[in-house]
A and B are shown apart, each in its own frame.
Chain A
Amino acid sequence: MKATDVAGTALANTMRSKLRTFLTVVAIVIGAFTLTLTTGLGAGINKYVDNVVEGFGKPGELTVMKQQDMSSAGAASGSPQEYTEQDAAGGEMFGMPLLTQEDLAAIEDTEHVTEVKTYRVAEPEYIQGPDDRKWQTGFMGSSGEIDMLTFSAGRAPEAGAAEIVMPESWVEDLGAGDAEDLVGTELTVVAATPLQEHKSVTATVVGVTKAAASGAGTAPTPSESLEQAIYDITTEGLPESQRNTYFQATAIVEDPEANEDAVKQALADQGLLAQTLEEQLGVIRGIIDAVTWVLTGFALIALLAASFGIINTLLMAVQERTREIGLMKALGMTGGKIFGLFTMEAVVIGLLGSLVGIGLGVAVGLIANQVLTTGPLSGVTGLVLFAVNPLALLLILLLIVAIAFIAGTLPALRAARKDPIEALRHE
């Protein structure tokens, strides 16, 4: 029998007991659907992470932070830690120790480091618009992000001037008709000293920023000198060592492929943690992948259950068609071809189930992505919950067909081994 005839006959045979085939296919559809959704979710979130870091990741950039030794991080749960002047010197932000001038000097002095960019986060109390209304300002963008901003109006703030750029979402509340209107407005930025004394700085709005998935442009971003002015207020009266601190720094490494590891090692010796962007994202990716794998595990269990459905269906078919199998063997069909006929039937069921399941999964994933990202989750800029990865879909298809084939081998072997005489006598 020709391969095309085997396939055609197998397809026709699956249609002989439509309800039974349908029910078996449904079980596979559920598995395929779940697999499609979970892999799509993983791909989507990873794509979102990619969007977030777009523009950040120039090769050779190392993000440097103060190393957080586990003894100080774990102090809450364990035995008391001995106090040292040095630990407390830099202060901390979000529970992370800050970089001191000393640390910066160490980074700059490290061999192969060509440039160091610093980031600090200014924390004013509020910003007052021209109509004297006050708006809470939890966070500001870092002046180090300025070159990542995109503008819907105006321009980037200049380092030496007391300038600020505002996100689009502030335009209306500050009493401006549109983005262009806001440019040129004078704002009062008010910050508190460590003794909670409010002091203000006046800043000119020079631009309006578009929100990017990376988070840049979603908060007011000051120029370098404005940032310094606010920072001076919030650290007023503190010891000098705590005033000139930074949240993190970026070290640019020359010829990163050759020198990156050496720089990392040198910084680690200084008690500084240097990470490439890939390493930082590795953690997030690891978590997403773990979640995806757990969900994928459930889908695989569903497919395992479905494979028993295939075995059951085909065993019934073999039993029903005993005489037909006997006739085909009597007429010269080899056991191998009979085996092929029944495994092909399993493959047809697997193909049907996976095509429908994958189709449904993609449709539901895309619709849910659209509904959620424009609806309840619209606040998360650039969020992608579901992405279509054709290669992954192809792999799912192949996996399910392979599972179906393996499930089909047991009934197919039974059919192939039938004795034609016995089979023809079968009632």
Chain B
Amino acid sequence: MSTAVPIPAVAEVPPGAEPVLETENLVKVYGRGASRFDALKGITLQIQRGESLAVVGKSGSGKSTLMHLLALLDQPSAGVVAMDGRPVSQLKAAEISQLRNERFGFVFQQFFLNPNQTVLENTVLPLKIAGVGRAQRTRRGMAVLERLELADKAKNKATDLSGGQKQRVCIARALVNNPTVLFADEPTGNLDSATSAAVEDILFGLHRDEGITLVVVTHDDDLAAKCDRRVELQDGVVIADERVGTERDGARA
């Protein structure tokens, strides 16, 4: 590896696309003094509307930190995150919460389903947080469960489901508020290969059919390969940013 950090070529922007999320010189530092850890060392990135982006890298590469900053779950130490061209990092906590609630969907490796509640109740949690009335919650919740072929399980307790079904409930929960961007953190990490494939089909189907912007954090190369674009991180810097299928190589470290 050379001592100078190579600056990767940024993947070509498709014509007519506008960035939904962008970052400029994003830095995240944990701890201080001897225990100081630079998780991100200046990431500049644009995510276009309707794009599917895979963030890949080894453990500790900073990919999860990047996702947390993009998803406004965390504050950067330096740099800016902008949404629709508007910087959001400096917004008030309540405004950021509202942005997350209205614009983002989250799918986690661990499902984080509430075992005491039914599938429907778990699914409509974002709507409940948004303050949507019960009747509308049920209607929209059932609609999204229908789409994910889980309508017959709506009244079941979340614990009664298989792993794949649980992840489908999580996807339903992520979709129920019609998000602009869907963040998926190792969405298939806890699933066997057959179930993984099914979940991937659902995610990319949503991306393809509904134009939802997909940001997937994974170390699974097969999953990353299904995305339009692949951003690879190592030690807090982007070492590759390539558009899959465009045959155009990004600079390699």
Q: State the A residues within 8 Å of B (CB).
A: 1-2, 5, 9, 12, 16, 323-324, 326-337, 420-421, 424
Return the contact of A332 from the options B101, B110, B133 (Cβ within 8 A). Answer: B101
16 chain-A/chain-B pairs, Cβ below 8 angstroms: A1-B128, A1-B131, A2-B133, A323-B110, A327-B112, A330-B71, A330-B106, A331-B106, A332-B99, A332-B102, A333-B97, A335-B93, A336-B94, A420-B73, A424-B108, A424-B112
B10 close to chain A: CB less than 8 A: no
User: Which A residue's beta carbon lies closest to that of B114?
Assistant: A324
Q: State the B residues within 8 Å of A (CB).
A: 68, 71, 73-74, 93-94, 97-102, 106, 108, 110, 112, 114, 116, 125-126, 128-131, 133
A146 to B98, CA, bound (A): 80
Chain B neighbourhood of A331, CB < 8 A: 100-101, 106, 125-126, 129
Assess the B116–A12 pair: CB atoms within 8 A: yes
Chain B neighbourhood of A330, CB < 8 A: 71, 73, 100, 106
A391 to B125, CA, bound (A): 40
Assess the B128–A5 pair: CB atoms within 8 A: yes
- Minimum C-beta distance from A279 to chain B (A): 59
Return the contact of B130 from the options A9, A327, A329, A332 (Cβ within 8 A). Answer: A332
User: Which A residue's beta carbon lies closest to that of B173?
Assistant: A331
A324 to B128, CA, bound (A): 14
| Among B94, B99, B125: residue with most chain A CB under 10 A | B125
- Minimum C-beta distance from B66 to chain A (A): 12
Chain A neighbourhood of B74, CB < 8 A: 421
Assess the B68–A421 pair: CB atoms within 8 A: yes
A2 to B131, CA, bound (A): 5
A12 to B98, CA, bound (A): 25
- Minimum C-beta distance from B155 to chain A (A): 16
Majority SS of interface residues in chain A? helix
Chain B neighbourhood of A12, CB < 8 A: 116
Chain A neighbourhood of B98, CB < 8 A: 332
Chain B neighbourhood of A424, CB < 8 A: 108, 110, 112
- Minimum C-beta distance from B129 to chain A (A): 5
Majority SS of interface residues in chain B? helix
A421 to B131, CA, bound (A): 23
Assess the B129–A1 pair: CB atoms within 8 A: yes
Chain B neighbourhood of A337, CB < 8 A: 129
- Minimum C-beta distance from B10 to chain A (A): 27
Chain B neighbourhood of A328, CB < 8 A: 125, 129
Chain A neighbourhood of B110, CB < 8 A: 323, 424
- Minimum C-beta distance from B130 to chain A (A): 7
- Minimum C-beta distance from A299 to chain B (A): 35
Assess the A332–B97 pair: CB atoms within 8 A: yes
User: Which B residue's beta carbon lies closest to that of A2?
Assistant: B131
Chain B neighbourhood of A1, CB < 8 A: 128-131
A420 to B129, CA, bound (A): 15
Assess the B129–A332 pair: CB atoms within 8 A: yes
Return the contact of B116 from the options A2, A16, A332, A421 (Cβ within 8 A). Answer: A16
Given the interface pairs A1-B128, A420-B73, the reply to whether A332 lies near B100 with Cβ below 8 Å is yes
User: Which A residue's beta carbon lies closest to that of B183?
Assistant: A330
Besides A324-B114, A331-B129, A424-B112, 12 other CB < 8 A contacts? A12-B116, A16-B116, A323-B110, A327-B125, A328-B129, A330-B100, A331-B126, A332-B97, A332-B99, A332-B102, A332-B129, A335-B93
- Minimum C-beta distance from B37 to chain A (A): 15
A15 to B108, CA, bound (A): 27
Assess the B126–A332 pair: CB atoms within 8 A: yes
Chain A neighbourhood of B125, CB < 8 A: 327-328, 331
Chain B neighbourhood of A335, CB < 8 A: 93
A5 to B130, CA, bound (A): 11
- Minimum C-beta distance from B205 to chain A (A): 23
Return the contact of A334 from the options B93, B102, B106 (Cβ within 8 A). Answer: B93
A335 to B94, CA, bound (A): 8
A280 to B38, CA, bound (A): 81
- Minimum C-beta distance from A145 to chain B (A): 69
A3 to B131, CA, bound (A): 9
- Minimum C-beta distance from A355 to chain B (A): 24
| Among A5, A16, A323: residue with most chain B CB under 10 A | A5
- Minimum C-beta distance from B174 to chain A (A): 9
User: Which B residue's beta carbon lies closest to that of A419?
Assistant: B74
Assess the A329–B97 pair: CB atoms within 8 A: yes
User: Which A residue's beta carbon lies closest to that of B98?
Assistant: A332
A63 to B136, CA, bound (A): 74
Chain A neighbourhood of B130, CB < 8 A: 1, 332
- Minimum C-beta distance from B141 to chain A (A): 14
User: Which A residue's beta carbon lies closest to that of B112?
Assistant: A327
A333 to B125, CA, bound (A): 10
Chain A neighbourhood of B126, CB < 8 A: 331-332
